Structure 1
Amino acid sequence: MTHDLSFPSRPKRISSQYISYGGKGLVFSEYGPYWRNMKKLCTVELLIALKVDMFSPMRSELLAEFVSCLQKTASSHEVIDISYTVGDVIENLTYKMIFGRSKDDRFDVKNLVREVLIQCNKKHDQET
């Protein structure tokens, strides 16, 4: 809360307009009444201990899978890309929290976001 006013007004980017429905998300919206209401909603409804604790078993399960993968890779003396593996764990956790199931080929949100950002950057480069 100490630095709240330092972060809400970020420079506007074309990609943020596409991803967050015209800057309507907490991350990309400008400081003002809308941002304050979104922040209140998140702190009162989404980020309370009860909600965070609700996903604890899911986090523990995915962490156990991650550690098992690291142990298996280490025992076979293979090289592992930790950044990719951690990203995969985070992606799986996000899918389970949002969709209620593990990721599958029908919902490749990570690549969809990547494609949107690439297209937005191309559009921005053409305009400048």
Structure 2
Amino acid sequence: MPLLFSVVAIILNIVLNLWLINGGFGVPAMGVAGAALATTISRGVQAVVMVVMLVKMDHFLAVRLTDFYQANDLKEWRKLIILIVPMMFSFGVWALGSFCYQLIFGRLGTNELAVISMLLPLEGMFLSLFLVLLRHVQLPLANI
């Protein structure tokens, strides 16, 4: 389910990038600011849809009011911190690498940065599709 929502968010990001960067339908061309706005909107929609679906499915990961009462328990906070620190480090390194790409393309020029901002969601979509296919395809070397 999260992978499906990611693919939908990436497609929405591509469409919004095309629209907001280049303008059209009464919206002026916004360039890099349009790319940032498109990414913010698409990721926000992804987060809201994910939370709504989890609540509708009554999934064990859905946010409930009782979860906020556990926020006072230091033992639970310790377990949470031990769990998320490695993930935060990993995502931080990934974000730093992505930021370096943006800096490099930003130095090349505004048009180049706008183009790469339109291509990165496509890269993410193809990576997601590759991971889905990899999950469903049995490789011959995997049995060795």
TM-score by length of 2: 0.32
TM-score by length of 1: 0.34
Please state which structure has a larger fraction of its residues in helix: 2
